[in-house]
Amino acid sequence: MKTWSELPEVLSIASLSQAYRDGALTPTALVEMLWQRLESAPACGVWISRLPFEGMLAYAAALSEQAPDDLPLYGIPFAIKDNIDLADLPTTAACPAYAYQPKQSAFVVRQLIAAGAIPVGKTNLDQFATGLVGTRSPYGVCRNSFDPAYIAGGSSSGSAVAVATGLASFALGTDTAGSGRVPAAFNNLVGVKPTRGLLSTCGVVPACRSLDCVSIFALTAADAERVLRVANVYDAEDSYNRPDQPLPVPPGFAGRFRFGVPKPEQLQFFGDEVAEILFKDAIAQLVEQGGSAVEVDIQALLDAAGLLYAGPWLAERYLAAGELLQTNPEALFPVTRAIIANGANLSAADAWRAFYRLQELKVRRDAIWRQIDVLVTPTTGTIYPIAAVEASPLELNSRLGYYTNFMNLLDLSAIALPAGFRGNGLPFGITLCAPAFADRALLALAKRRAQSVPHKLGVSQTLSAEFPAADTGDAAGFVRVAVCGAHLSGLPLNRLLTDRGGVLLQRTHTAPTYRLYALPDGKRPGMVRDETGAAIAVEVWALPIGRYGEFVAEIPPPLGIGSVQLQDGTSVQGFVCEAAAVREALDITDYGGWRAYLARPD
């Protein structure tokens, strides 16, 4: 039996669990390898505190008397947003002056550890979980896992990036206004916002206690479902915890189903034309999967969203941090301080006015669900660079909550899902939402979608489970193609991939058995198999099978498509060159790739 010598780039629960069952991995070995990754990972604002190596080993050692099949989360590493208690580490809510040492872990954390999960540490957040950007923390800005110039999304920023960058298999966040969904969208993850009260919030620093949810970040819907099943234990000590009342999975979710799409004038992309195209693509994919699109009026939902920061729920935020605001206002991040301070000025009359209005909107909400099984929206209309958010923190944050702020006020369940990539490599996401306690139905639909809409897991430089090693593609209808020249990202012919719906899967190298030549036209290279050659830098793209033929037809001689072996031993379709065409060409193998050759000094 092969023993794992290194961890894959991303740590799906399914793959780790299989490795444990196969005897290829032990919890102790997992901790040892993960620790090396944690120590060498670039600083990108993920952690506020981490367990020491000995602490993680102790959790692993506690599993020595258990078998992998005994515990649903046996040996699975997870991260915890630092407004959720872990007995081993202080809880800060991203405010050092507020920090305290909990006597025990949060109720949900205890369920996960009892199921075999291994905590890694406490993650960065927008202070007091107030924000959707991930920039409002004295512990530093948490950066997007795909492009460090962009926001990771908040408030659960560190939890999302920890999973996306392979530092944890799943993570806990919280979600009051979108904090468990926005970071998922910005980091290509699944983000589960459970029904309000489904998971205990005992041991969670409140933002708005009546609205707060513990959320889950995972690489796949199946992984998220496994975590939710473990965490969903009724807690009699939590006055806001509600016994699970699971709605049956609609029969149509296995075949035909009705999904709502907001009226065109209610869709907002804030100038992000690519996001608008990706959302239309997601709608088309849902139709292909058996869905019937129904245009619905979501104005009641949008009106409810407007209450969140203009009503009594802002006073709830003041209850959580008001004492510190009065005694030590400088301890709060400036934007956070300004937002929370407004909660002190609301009256009882303001509260009842908001409650009356919300009740009216709930009646209108119910009318929507008589038309559809599930509502589909973008998770956010766009994404912003860190510099833009710092220049306009309130306005841009408000835009990010356009599709998220209403859900807990209106008692909805939701799941955020990956839905493609922009041309600049940043991910886009959609959200499925439904009435309270429809969590299992949403997960069922998400898993069904995952079977036909593959996505790259996290920011892995390895292939995801949805793209198995093969020469011609996979059952989902994609072909893997290795490119080595002008089709590389940012080069002139890359549009021939992106215009056909191509998705970049990995940047890697071939096996060390190829030579690269600059063809006489000076515009492209030719790669030839040669056992005396070297490893050549390539990109592997997933191209829809339906567009593959026209792509191949545009390849001019002496280039063609053949089988290319990668450095990991797998083979994919790729560009190869006729040997006769390179006899008079310049051998550029020593440069290691076309980009390096183009960047050579004159």
Active site residues: 81, 155, 179
Gap between the Cα atoms of 142 and 151, Å rounded: 7
Question: Which one, of 591, 601, 602, lies nearest residue 518 by Cα?
Answer: 591
72, 73, 115 from 65: Cα distances, Å: 15, 15, 13
Q: Where are the beta strands (DSSP E) in 405-488?
A: 412-421, 427-435, 478-483
* C-alpha torsion sign, points 393, 394, 400, 405: positive
22, 25, 68, 71, 223 from 19: Cα distances, Å: 5, 5, 9, 14, 15
- Residue 3 region, left (φ>0) first, then alpha (ψ -120 to 50), else beta? beta
Gap between the Cα atoms of 242 and 196, Å rounded: 8
Beta-carbon contacts of 86 under 8 Å, excluding residues fewer than 6 positions away, are: 80, 102, 105, 106, 109, 119, 122
179, 198, 539 from 212: Cα distances, Å: 10, 11, 42
Strands 374-378 and 257-262 turn out to be: parallel
Encoded amino acid at 421, one letter = F
Q: State the DSSP code for 486.
A: T
Q: State the DSSP code for 100.
A: B
Return the structure tokens found at 47: 């952690």
